[in-house]
């Protein structure tokens, strides 16, 4: 498993080499529209179901923007918003949000024990890999591999993504890694791990 993860990290990292170099200052001027849902700096979404995008990883943000624009990831709220933007615009937005800081959330104390166990050690009985393997021990992500920061993200958003991967509504992850992991999680595990990650820092 470690060799597979290492291979994926290298492959994803190399895939981003030829992408446009983002300019945070140019991205800042483009981000005004995004603020309506994601907050001025990308760290304070209007609703719990909208993600924080501040500091979650430039390569990851860029890939999501590209996938949403191309229809590989369906986000109804963003339909049409990205169509007028160029590849350079998307790179600039990603660069801007990388310079912003993720705000902290508070995990549900009753869910911390289960969430911590899953995040750090996975579930050997059901074949769930530890989240920390790709998202880091403090939820900081692995920027070079486009694995996003999950620490501090809204619990409701994290739970929705895990449920969407589980149901096949989202499938733009490398080699279906998240789909495979999510398919093995119970509803209780999704709730616990989403809460734990939201308070992780």
Sequence spans of domains, the chain: 7-98, 109-198
pLDDT of 19 reads 62
* Residue 17 confidence (pLDDT) above 60: no
CA distance 128 to 121: 9
Binding site as annotated, residues? 34, 37-38, 78, 131, 134-135, 178
* Topology classification of domain 109-198: Cytochrome Bc1 Complex; Chain D, domain 2 (1.10.760)
For domain 7-98, the question of CATH label 1.10.760.10 is answered with: yes
Do residues 123 and 190 touch, judged by C-beta distance below 8 A?
Answer: no
* Residue 179 confidence (pLDDT) above 50: yes
Alpha helices in the chain (DSSP H): 2-15, 24-30, 35-38, 58-70, 87-98, 112-121, 132-135, 155-167, 177-183, 187-198
Q: Who wins on pLDDT, 84 or 16?
A: 84
Q: For all residues of the chain together, what is the average pLDDT?
A: 91
Band the pLDDT of 10: cuts 50, 70, 90.
Answer: very low
Express each pLDDT in 20-73 by its tens digit.
799 999 999 999 999 999 999 999 888 888 999 999 999 999 999 999 999 999
* Residue 89 confidence (pLDDT) above 80: yes
CA distance 197 to 87: 31
Do residues 195 and 162 touch, judged by C-beta distance below 8 A?
Answer: no
Express each pLDDT in 115-171 by its tens digit.
999 999 999 999 999 999 999 999 999 999 999 999 999 999 999 999 999 999 999
* Residue 3 confidence (pLDDT) above 70: no
* Residue 6 confidence (pLDDT) above 50: no
Binding site as annotated, residues for heme c? 34, 37-38, 78, 131, 134-135, 178
pLDDT of 172 reads 96
The contacts of residue 91 (CB under 8 Å, 6+ apart) are 19, 20, 21, 22, 23, 27, 62
CA distance 63 to 195: 25
Domain 7-98 and domain 109-198, same fold? Reply is yes
Do residues 76 and 4 touch, judged by C-beta distance below 8 A?
Answer: no
């Amino acid at each position: 498993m470690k060799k597979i993860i290492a291979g994926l990290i290298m492959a994803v990292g190399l895939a981003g080499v030829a992408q446009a170099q983002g300019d945070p200052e140019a991205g800042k001027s483009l981000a005004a529209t995004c603020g309506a849902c994601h907050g001025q700096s990308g760290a304070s979404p209007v609703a719990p179901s909208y993600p924080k995008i501040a500091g979650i990883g430039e390569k990851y943000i860029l890939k999501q923007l590209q996938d949403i624009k191309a229809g590989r990831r369906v986000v109804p709220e963003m339909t049409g918003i990205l169509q007028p933007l160029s590849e350079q615009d998307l790179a600039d937005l990603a660069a801007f949000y990388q310079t912003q800081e993720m705000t902290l959330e508070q995990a549900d104390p009753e869910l911390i024990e289960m969430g911590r166990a899953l995040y750090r050690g996975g579930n050997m009985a059901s074949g769930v890999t530890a989240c920390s393997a790709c998202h880091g021990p403090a939820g900081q992500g692995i920027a070079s591999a486009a694995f996003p920061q999950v620490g501090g993200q809204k619990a409701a958003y994290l739970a929705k993504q895990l449920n969407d991967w589980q149901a096949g509504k989202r499938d733009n992850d490398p080699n279906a890694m998240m789909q495979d992991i999510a398919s093995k999680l119970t509803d209780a595990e999704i709730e616990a791990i989403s809460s734990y990650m939201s308070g992780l820092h």
